[in-house]
């Protein structure tokens, strides 16, 4: 008598194990969501608040005077040109990265290059040390070549870091494409170039997009190099924000942060859509 009941209980799906069980699960899930949302949006909401606070003194929990004065100021002043500069540089850096690293990563991924690890290591080297000393040394060199304070210099300094991201992810992307996919094309008469454009590139596209987004965000967010090489002639958004925050202009800094964050969040959603976990998993083991 008891046996069939036991079997029925054991084989019942989760939801049929009684209402108390699903309530417990729901509560737990809700708690996890609530904590995550608080962890992510808590700090962000304070930024949002600050950006619309015209007066906010301790110990008031909320601003005493609200308004868009600082947003208005931001769009009237130098901030807009900084924003444009940052986006422009990020786009140029992304394109240069694509042009250099897509073919290079493909060659590294597909061929037995004797010094492959050395090549990859050289690309990684600038990231292995604290950025400040590395960039200071670069600055010394750039002074010699008259690149400090120029857009070219800014783009070059961004490329130092961006190429690393781009190359390392793209090598993984190309390695994740099974070689028989290309060989099948060769057997049917497709040349290496034809195969690259008709087989490899379309399959690698999600990975390439993901890597480009990473590079774009890196460039948009780059600070140390931008400060050393670009300032004071070319002020990018992060540098602008640094200046604003340094002047205790909490509101200006908040507006800048929110502006900087919007493309970041949008692009991260795109990234999440295109990035396959194996690209990241292969990161660093080539």
Partner 1 sequence: MGIYIEGLTKAYGKKRGITDINIHLPEGGLTAIVGPSGCGKTTLLRTLAGFHTADEGRILFGSRDVTRISPQGRKAAMVFQHYALWPHMTVADNVGYGLRLQKVPAKERERRVREVLERVEIDTSDIGARYPQHYSGGQQQRIALARALVVQPEVLLLDEPLSNLDAKVRQRLRIGIRSIQQSFGITAVYVTHDQEEALSMADYVILMNDGKVEQAGTPEEIYRKPSTYFTAQFLGESHTLTLKYQGKPQRLVLRSGDALVTPVVDEWGTNAETLERSIAHEEVIEEDGSWVMEGEIRHHLFMGSYYRYMVEIQGQSMFVDDDRLLKPGSCKVTIPTEKAYWFDI
Give the whole-angstrom CA distance, residue 148 versus residue 128. Answer: 24
Q: Considering only residues 4, 202, 232, 246, which one is a binding residue for partner 1 as defined by CB under 8 A?
A: 202
Q: Which is nearer to partner 1, 174 or 216 (CB)?
A: 174
From residue 264, how far is each of 13, 32, 244, 269 by CA, in Å? Answer: 41, 24, 20, 9
Cβ 210 to partner 1 shortest distance, Å: 16
Cβ 98 to partner 1 shortest distance, Å: 19
Token pair for residue 260?
A: 């900087």
Q: Is 185 in the site for partner 1 (CB under 8 A)?
A: yes
Stretch that binds partner 1, among 51-59, 138-146, 195-203, 220-228 (CB under 8 A): 195-203
Q: Could you say which DSSP state residue 191 is in?
A: -
Alpha-helix runs per DSSP H in the chain: 2-11, 19-51, 69-76, 79-110, 116-128, 131-144, 151-175, 179-187, 192-195, 201-221, 224-225, 237-246, 250-274, 277-281
Stretch that binds partner 1, among 31-39, 45-53, 123-131, 191-199 (CB under 8 A): 191-199
């994740």: which residue's tokens? Answer: 176
Cβ(214)–Cβ(161) below 8 Å: no
Q: Is 190 in the site for partner 1 (CB under 8 A)?
A: yes
Q: Is 184 in the site for partner 1 (CB under 8 A)?
A: yes
Q: Is 197 in the site for partner 1 (CB under 8 A)?
A: no
Q: Is 186 in the site for partner 1 (CB under 8 A)?
A: yes
Stretch that binds partner 1, among 59-67, 104-112, 192-200, 238-246 (CB under 8 A): 192-200
Chain residues binding partner 1 by CB under 8 A are 178, 180-181, 183-191, 194, 198-199, 202-203
């Amino acid at each position: 008598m008891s046996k069939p009941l036991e079997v029925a209980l054991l084989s019942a799906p989760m939801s049929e194990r009684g209402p108390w069980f699903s309530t417990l699960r729901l509560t737990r899930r809700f708690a996890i969501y609530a904590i995550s949302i608080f962890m992510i949006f808590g700090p962000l909401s304070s930024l949002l608040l600050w950006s619309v606070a015209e007066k906010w003194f301790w110990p008031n929990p909320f601003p005493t005077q609200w308004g868009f004065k600082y947003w208005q100021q931001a769009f009237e002043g130098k901030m807009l040109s900084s924003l444009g500069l940052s986006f422009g540089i990020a786009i140029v850096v992304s394109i240069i990265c694509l042009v250099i690293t897509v073919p290079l990563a493909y060659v590294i991924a597909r061929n037995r290059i004797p010094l492959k690890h050395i090549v990859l290591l050289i690309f990684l080297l600038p990231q292995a040390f604290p950025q400040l000393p590395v960039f200071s040394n670069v600055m010394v060199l750039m002074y010699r070549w008259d690149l400090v304070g120029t857009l070219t210099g800014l783009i070059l300094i961004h490329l130092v870091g961006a190429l690393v991201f781009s190359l390392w992810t793209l090598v993984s992307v190309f390695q994740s494409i099974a070689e028989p996919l290309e060989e099948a094309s060769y057997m049917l008469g497709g040349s290496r170039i034809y195969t690259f454009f008709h087989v490899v590139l379309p399959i690698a596209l999600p990975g390439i997009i993901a890597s480009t987004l990473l590079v774009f965000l890196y460039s948009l967010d780059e600070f140390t190099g931008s400060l050393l090489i670009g300032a004071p002639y070319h002020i990018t958004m992060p540098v602008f924000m640094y200046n604003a925050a340094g002047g205790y202009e909490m509101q200006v800094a908040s507006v800048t942060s929110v502006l900087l964050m919007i493309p970041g969040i949008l692009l991260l959603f795109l990234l999440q859509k295109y990035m396959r976990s194996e690209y990241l998993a292969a990161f660093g083991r080539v």
